[in-house]
Amino acid sequence: MSELLTELTDSTRSVLDSLGPGTAEETIWTQVVDLGWLLAGVPESLDGLGLGPAAVCVIQQELGRSLSAARYPAATLVIDALVAAGESPLLERLPLLLTEALATAPLVPPDIEISDDGRLSGTVRAVWSVDRASDILVWTNSDVLLVPTSAGALKARPTWDETRRLFDITFTDVNIDSGWRLAQGAAAETLVCRIETLRDFLLAADAIGGATAALESTVNYLTERKQFGRPLALFQALKHRCADLKAHIAAAEALFADTLNQAESGFGQPQAALLAREAKLLATAAYTEAAEEAVQLHGGIGMTAEHPCHLYLKRAQLNEHLGRRRVSDELELATCQFS
């Protein structure tokens, strides 16, 4: 990791550590905005920091580590799409988005259709904090739109992961205003690819952060907790379990860094989306494994609501289902090998 990114990791972590676990969404969001974390990926020409997707992911990794409620990935997807779409009247809204980020995006592909006469219908699932957003980013294969949330009907999607507030929003025959359009046709295809690539990398980053924290907490617990007159960490069987987790997480991290590096030059290309999907698959699998093991290795206390183990478990399990399409990701990756 470059020195810059290491510094970013450290400073992000120290902010989050000082806020402590379970910080309320709006409190943490004020920090995200005030500290300029939304600027990380924005080019310098647009008054951003120009640090690219790697920096955005570093921030999300730390937010994931602290099980943060901040809708950073959702807001970042909108900002990135606006910037990538280039010159459009919508770009004028960027400064506002960067200071308040009143826009959000879904974490799974939207299930929407646009009719020939330009009407939008369908349900967009798993949208982070859409109740607090003015606009939502939605897409089909040939259109990318920033739609006012007032055009749709909201329904809460309460999940077991209480660290994130998700909603579904349904549009019924909504007349599309041309001012909502970010891209169309071939340009939209590229932009969609870019959105989904960044989303999957952000989910991978969240998973790596969470997995690392779950493992750390387990190692600490096993070191402190005594049974049979010795710390549990003295049992080799348990050390090996932690070592396996460490290796799994390290592999996920290595793949993440490598795929991100390969993808960075061509973020709108289908190849980049596949790379991101690989990174996401391995990272979310490492997260669920680390979280599942955390509960098991904590014993009875891991099954209590007051201990944070279950927060990792629930967030990890939800992550496995975010970013998924109808066809299994695994199947699609394998299929690519035959084409």
Ligand X SMILES: Cc1cc2nc3c(=O)[nH]c(=O)nc-3n(C[C@H](O)[C@H](O)[C@H](O)COP(=O)(O)OP(=O)(O)OC[C@H]3O[C@@H](n4cnc5c(N)ncnc54)[C@H](O)[C@@H]3O)c2cc1C
The residue among 115 and 223 lying less far from ligand X, judged by its C-beta, is 223
Q: Which of other proteins, ligand X, none lies near 216, with the C-beta cut-off 5 to 8 A by kind?
A: none
Q: Which of ligand X, other proteins, none lies near 338, with the C-beta cut-off 5 to 8 A by kind?
A: none
Q: How far is Cα of residue 272 from the mean position of the Cα atoms in its chain?
A: 17
Closest distance of CB 336 from other proteins, Å: 15
Rounded Cα distance, 277 and 42, in Å? 23
- Residues with Cβ within 8 Å of 101's Cβ and at least 6 positions away in sequence, in order, are 29, 32, 33, 38, 71, 75, 78, 79
The residue among 39 and 233 lying less far from ligand X, judged by its C-beta, is 233
Q: Which of other proteins, ligand X, none lies near 110, with the C-beta cut-off 5 to 8 A by kind?
A: none
The residue among 237 and 327 lying less far from ligand X, judged by its C-beta, is 237
Closest distance of CB 313 from ligand X, Å: 14
For residue 33, which amino acid is it?
Answer: V
- Residues with Cβ within 8 Å of 181's Cβ and at least 6 positions away in sequence, in order, are 88, 143, 144, 145
Q: How far is Cα of residue 286 from the mean position of the Cα atoms in its chain?
A: 15
The residue among 186 and 237 lying less far from other proteins, judged by its C-beta, is 237
Q: Which residues bind ligand X (CB under 6 A)?
A: 225, 227-228, 232, 235, 237-238, 296-297, 299-300, 303
DSSP assignment, residue 164? Answer: S
Q: Are 30 and 46 a contacting pair, CB within 8 Å?
A: no
β-sheet bridge partners, residue 156: 167
Q: Which residues bind other proteins (CB under 8 A)?
A: 108, 125-126, 157-162, 223, 226-231, 234-238, 295-296, 299-300, 302-306, 309-310, 313-314, 317-318, 321-322, 324, 327-328, 330-331
